Structure 1
Amino acid sequence: MHIMEGFLPPAHALGWSLAAVPFLAWGVHRVGRGLRDHPDRRLLLGVATAFSFLLSALKLPSVTGSCSHPTGVGLGALLFGPAAMVPVGFVVLLFQALLLAHGGLTTLGANVFSMAVVGPFAAYGVWRAATALGAGRSVSVFLGACLGDMATYLTTSAQIAWAFPDPVGGFAASLAKFVSIFGLTQVPLAMTEGLLTVLVVNAMVRYPLDEWGALPVLHRGARAKVVR
C-alpha cells in the first residue's frame, strides 16, 4: 500500500504530509516519555520496528501507483500503543523509500498517514474493543492486526480515489474500483499478518522476560500502562 514516488498530485502530497505531522510530533513525544519511564523496552521497540520493516517490504504488485503488502504495525501498536508506531512507521517508510525504492519521498506523508497513523490506531482500537467484549488474547490480537492492516488498505484506496476520481462516477466509483482490486491480494495478506502477529504474541507469553514488564497485550485484564 505504499504509493509510489511522484504518483500523487502535489497538492495531495502536501496535504497528506501536513495531516501526518501532528501525529508524528505527538508520537515522538509519547515514545520519548515512555522510554524514559521504561528504558528496558528500547530493544523490544527495535524488534517491533524490524518486524514492521520486514513485513511491509514484502510487496505484491496491485494497481498502478501502489502495491499490496502486510504492514507489521499491528504488533507494535498492541505492545506499545498506537502513538508509538507513528514515528516507527515514519522511519520504516523513509528507509524503504531511500533504500528499496518502495514508496517515495513526495508520497511519504500519505503513506505515513495510512500505514503509521490509521493502521496502528485501528489495530489498537479493535484489540481494545475485542478484549472488552471478552474475546481471548489470540482472537483479540488477530482481529487487531488483521483489521489494522485492512484499515491501511482502505485509507490508501481512498487517497488514490480522491486524487484520481472516476470521470463518470467520481470519488465513489474510483474508490469501489481500487478497493475491489486491492482486496484480491490484501484480504489474504491481512489474515496472514493477523495469524503471524498471534504467533509472535503467544511466543512472548510463553517465554516471558523482565523487559516485557506490564505490556497490556501480554497481561490481558491487567490495568497496565502503554508507552505514552
Structure 2
Amino acid sequence: MHIAEGFLPPLHAVGWTVAAAPFVVHGARAVVKEVREHPENTLLLGAAGAFTFVLSAIKLPSVTGSSSHPTGTGAGAVLFRPPVMALLGTVVLLFQALLLAHGGLTTLGANAFSMAIVGPWAGYGAYRLTRSLGGGLLPGVFVAMLVADLATYVTTALQLALAFPDADSGFAGAAVKFLGVFAVTQIPLAVGEGLLGVLLFRVLTTNARPELERLGLLPPAPAQEEVR
C-alpha cells in the first residue's frame, strides 16, 4: 500500500475500480447529507480528511524491503461512520497519486477499496464490538485504528496475490508471501497508530467535547448547578 501506478494488470485495475465505485458514490451522498444537516461538523470533517492525508503520506521502510505507512482512516470512521471515509479516503488517495506519486490513477480503485472501504468498515466494526463489550471511547478508538490499519494491508496483500498468483501454489502461496511482506511487518505500526488515535481523541475530548457529544461518541456532560 499504495499499489504503484501501472502495477496491476488492466483487468484487475478495472475490476477494483468497479467494485469501489458504489461505495464512493454512497460516501459522497453521506458527506453531502452530513454537511447539509450538520454544518457545524464541517471543520471536524475536514480535519478527519487532513489527518488521513498526513498520516497515510508518511512512508517508513520495513525490514522486508518494502515501505509501510499508517492509514488514519479509523479515526474518521469512528467520528463519521465508514461511508464518509469511502469518499474522503478516495480523495486523499487521488491527491497523493497526483501530488506525491504515491499509488496511481490506474490503481486508485484497488487502493481505495483497501484503504477507504475495507479499512474503515473493519475498524468501525471493531470499535462497535469493543463498545458493546463495555469498552470506553478510548479503548474503542485504539482497536478501531489498529484494525483499520491491518485490514488495509491484508486486503492489499490479497489483491496482489490475486493479480500475481504463485507459479506452483497459486493464490494461496502468493497470499502467504504478500501477507508476510505487508501484513506481518505492519503490526507494530498498527499498534503505534492505535496509540496515536488515543492521543488524538484525548485532545478532542478536552477541546471538542460538544462535537463528540453531538456525534454520539460521548454522553452529554451533566449540567452544573447554579451557585446561589
Give TM-score scaled by structure 1 length.
0.91
Q: What amino acid is the match of 1:141? A: V
Matched with 2:24 is 24
Partner in structure 1 of residue 148 of structure 2: 148
| One-letter amino acid of the counterpart of residue 188, structure 2 | P
Change in Cα spacing, 1:134 to 1:24, as seen in structure 2 (3 Å) is same
Q: Provide, for residues 11-44 of structure 1, a one-character-per-residue CA deviation record: whole Å limited to 9, x for no partner.
A: 0000000000000010111111111110011110
Alpha-carbon contact 1:2-1:67 (below 8 Å) kept: no
Q: Greater Rg, structure 1 or structure 2?
A: 2
Q: CA deviation at 1:182?
A: 1.3
CA distance in 1, matches of 2:212, 2:88: 19
Aligned to 2:59: 59
RMSD, aligned CA: 1.7
CA 154–134 in structure 1, closer or farther in 2 if over 3 Å, else same: same
Question: CA 1:143–1:209 in 2, change beyond 3 Å: closer, same or farther?
Answer: closer
Matched, 1:71 2:71: yes
- Paired amino acid for 2:160: I
SS at structure 2 position matched to 1:3? coil
- Write the distance in 2 (CA, Å) between the matches of 1:108 and 1:214: 33
2:119 is aligned with 1:119: yes
Match of 1:97 in 2: 97
Quote the offset at 1:218 in angstroms: 3.6
Aligned residues: 219
4+ aligned runs moved over 6 Å, structure 1: none
Aligned partners of 1:33, 1:156: CA distance in 2, in Å? 30
Structure 2 unmatched ranges of 5 or more: 221-228
What is the alpha-carbon distance in structure 2 between the residues aligned to residue 201 and residue 51 of structure 1? 12
Structure 1 gaps, min length 5: 221-228
Number of the residue aligned with 2:166 = 166
Q: Is the 8 A contact 1:201 1:218 kept in 2?
A: no
Q: Deviations over 1:115-149 (max 9, x none)?
A: 00000111111100110011122211111110111
Q: Kindly indicate whether the alpha-carbon contact (under 8 Å) linking 1:150 and 1:186 is maintained by their aligned counterparts in 2.
A: yes
Find the aligned partners of 2:183 and 2:22 in 1 and give their Cα distance: 30
Instruction: Say whether 1:86 aligns with 2:86.
Output: yes
Identity rate, percent: 55
CA deviation string 1:39-79 (max 9, x = no partner):
01111011111100001001134578x74210001100000
**2:42 corresponds to:** 42
**Contact 1:146-1:194 within 8 A present in 2 as well:** yes
SS of equivalent to 2:182: helix
3-state SS of the aligned residue for 1:2?
coil
User: 1:206, CA displacement in angstroms?
Assistant: 1.8
| SS of residue matched to 2:23 | helix
Residues 142 and 198 of structure 2 are in contact (CA less than 8 Å); yes or no, is this contact kept in structure 1? yes
Q: Does the CA-based 8 Å contact 1:137-1:217 persist in structure 2?
A: yes
